[in-house]
Structure 1
Amino acid sequence: MTARRTTTIVLATVAVLGLATTSGCGLRSASGTVLDADPGQIKHYESLEGVSLTVAAKDFTEQQILGNMLSIILNAAGADVTNLSNIPGSFGARAAMTGGEANISPEYTGTGWINYLGNDKPVKGEEQQWKAVDEADRENGLTWLKPAPMNNTYAFAIRASAAKRLGVTKLSDLQKLPKDELTFCVESEFAARNDGFVPMLEAYGLSKDAIGRVTTLDTGVVYTATAKGSCNFGEVFTTDGRIPGLNLTVLEDDKKFFPLYNLTEVIDSDVLRKHPELKEIFAQLNPKLTNEVMLTLNAKVDTGGEDPAIVARDWLVDEGLLK
């Protein structure tokens, strides 16, 4: 899940090179298929018939689900859709958008503001962060639609049995715990970020001397290590399907420390001007995309082994957006 957080120049370069080498004629999706569905609450638009739209999404579970979701919706609405729902890394997807090889992408407001636009500090407030990134990215010919409630940000989780034993539900509860219970599993990037581990401790009144063991692990290992009790508190992403799959409990960020990463669609501004109905389409989808929904959908893939495209279509049909 950390693909969208990566900010180093080396990884950005690799991602862009990956785009160039995927195909001599441009990008291709690992799946590429757009599953069929009939219009439902989201209707068919004659104005979209014959319009070519290309969806770019990244190569982790949530993005594969969302990229397929957008592709299926746009296809049912009448467009001719190319599905690029498996591009390596955040900067690969961004390069597809800014380079004109794609014209719509599921994105996160925090990623746009911090990773793509190079700002050091997030904007507080969901609407304020969205408006800031939208206004700034208009100069790059991209428009950010009003985001979903879903916020895939950093968090700390604890196995459910330990949460009950320690009596913790929110990060401010950490202050009342003894040092030997304050054991953490984090990934290396998070440990060094200015919106990461040490500043988080300071925001909640804890010093490095006041905590116990800190173990640095790869992202996937953090989840399993936390579930097994190797540490009490593991760094997670709030919509990761492994949270319910491993019976972890996410602690509330009650001081609102972590940046906001609300999901929305980024669309080429010229395309949106020609087809304002796209805004209407996604205004029906976005309010339904909550953390709880994405946790469930991600878990179907991550722990249930289901196909992201089928998971996306089935949910759209169950919600009545399509048939």
Structure 2
Amino acid sequence: MRTIAVVRGGGRGCRVLAAVVAAVIGCAPALSACSASPPRPVPPADLHGARYVVAGGPTDQLVLLCHLAVAVVEAAGAEAAEQCGKLGAADVRSPARSSVDLGWAYVGQADRDLDGEADVPAPFARVAAQDAARGVTWLAPTAFADTDALAVGGPVAAGGMRTVSDLAASPGATICAPPGAVDDPQGLGGVLAVYGLDPARVRPLDPGAVLTETARGRCTAGLVPNTSGRIPALGLVVLVDDRSGFGRGADGTPGPGRGGAAPVLRTPVYAAHPQVAAVLGALTARLTDEVIRELDRRITVEGRDARDVAREWTREAGLTP
């Protein structure tokens, strides 16, 4: 039974009070609904009972990917021992000297023979098949590319330059690039050949200066790491590689393409809980060029901790509560 105190004496003040009481009583359910917490994200699969030793490093990006993997497998119910900063993929391939179960490797830079050097790039399916024979399982790679890219300043992009073909068709356009870049058939050298660009257009610059000089307009375009956080920080725009010039083979034929980074696991560990592929696949599918640049910006430009950035973004993306 609900008891309501009655204010005696009448008058306008009493009528106002009565209206307020009625409004509060009538809206109680609505107020409760408004204050309810948002629904918790539902993981793509249940990993309760699974335990992973997760590594990735030593670069900032691999450390970030390690923390991202830890966040999503824990949200799915797994236990994760974090060793971010260690070499992930190499440790997965060396069970005799390492306890790492889950790491990251770049599709276009895989060191499958563990000689300390990147192997000849190969399509993802071939890389995965070769490693499967060694007891290593590759999962779906990220949506971002692990190639270089050509970027232009905001004013240049606003003027209509959006693709590498636009750059090639622009008389007098210059490209700033690190020394020797024109000789890389999988990078700028391949781009020059595919688009018919004259190597004389390329201006050699220290790698650290390419981004800033491009942002200042002293180069029409700059050869930059595709995932660099300085791209958004400097207001640069990446040109669309509309004829797939990056990632070609040494003979100029289309190579492994955009590549990306992929989770790699010891096959027995994967086989115990194969649903981990769905959990990590939901993560890698969201890691686009734009997303990884923004995360790199938070770490390298703002100086934030990779673990904090990973936890923050997975909540923003609806992957973790």
Same fold (TM over 0.5): yes
Map 1:109-188 → 2, pairs under 5 A: 109-112=107-110, 118-119=119-120, 122=122, 129-165=123-159, 167-179=160-172, 181-182=173-174, 184-188=175-179
More helix by share: 1
1:243 is matched with which residue?
231
Contact 2:46 2:77 in 1 (8 A): yes
Contact 1:113 1:133 in 2 (8 A): no
Listed as ranges, the gaps of 5+ residues in structure 1 are 1-38, 123-128
Distance 1:113 1:135, change over 3 A: farther
Distance 1:133 1:217, change over 3 A: same
CA distance in 2, matches of 1:162, 1:154: 19
Contact 2:179 2:204 in 1 (8 A): no
1:33 is matched with which residue?
none
CA distance in 2, matches of 1:196, 1:45: 40
Distance 1:263 1:287, change over 3 A: same
CA distance in 1, matches of 2:161, 2:102: 41
Letter in 2 for 1:322: T
Alignment partner of 2:85: what SS? Answer: strand
CA offsets, 1:111-130, max 9 Å, x none?
2289967225x5xxxxxx32
Aligned length: 265
1:62 is matched with which residue?
61
1:317 to partner: Cα distance = 1.7
Alignment partner of 2:133: what SS? Answer: helix
> In the alignment, does 2:61 pair up with 1:41?
no
CA offsets, 1:124-150, max 9 Å, x none?
xxxxx3222211221222111122322
Contact 2:232 2:293 in 1 (8 A): yes
2:93 is matched with which residue?
98
2:36 is matched with which residue?
none
Q: TM-score normalised to the size of structure 1?
A: 0.73
Contact 1:44 1:76 in 2 (8 A): no
Measured on the aligned residues, the alpha-carbon RMSD in Å equals 2.5
1:83 is matched with which residue?
82
Structure whose CA Rg is larger: 2
1:178 to partner: Cα distance = 2.3
1:300 to partner: Cα distance = 1.6
1:223 is matched with which residue?
211
Q: TM-score normalised to the size of structure 2?
A: 0.74
1:243 to partner: Cα distance = 0.7
Alignment partner of 1:46: what SS? Answer: coil
CA offsets, 1:262-287, max 9 Å, x none?
23211111211122121232133222
CA distance in 2, matches of 1:94, 1:47: 23
> In the alignment, does 2:287 pair up with 1:289?
yes
1:83 to partner: Cα distance = 2.1
Contact 2:56 2:103 in 1 (8 A): yes
Letter in 2 for 1:314: E
Distance 1:190 1:59, change over 3 A: farther
Contact 1:151 1:262 in 2 (8 A): yes
Distance 1:202 1:155, change over 3 A: same
Residue 232 of structure 1: which of 211, 220, 231 is its match? 220
CA distance in 1, matches of 2:271, 2:117: 23
Letter in 2 for 1:254: D
CA distance in 1, matches of 2:170, 2:313: 41
Identity of aligned residues (%): 27
> In the alignment, does 2:319 pair up with 1:321?
yes
Residue 242 of structure 2: which of 254, 258, 264 is its match? 254
Contact 2:187 2:245 in 1 (8 A): no
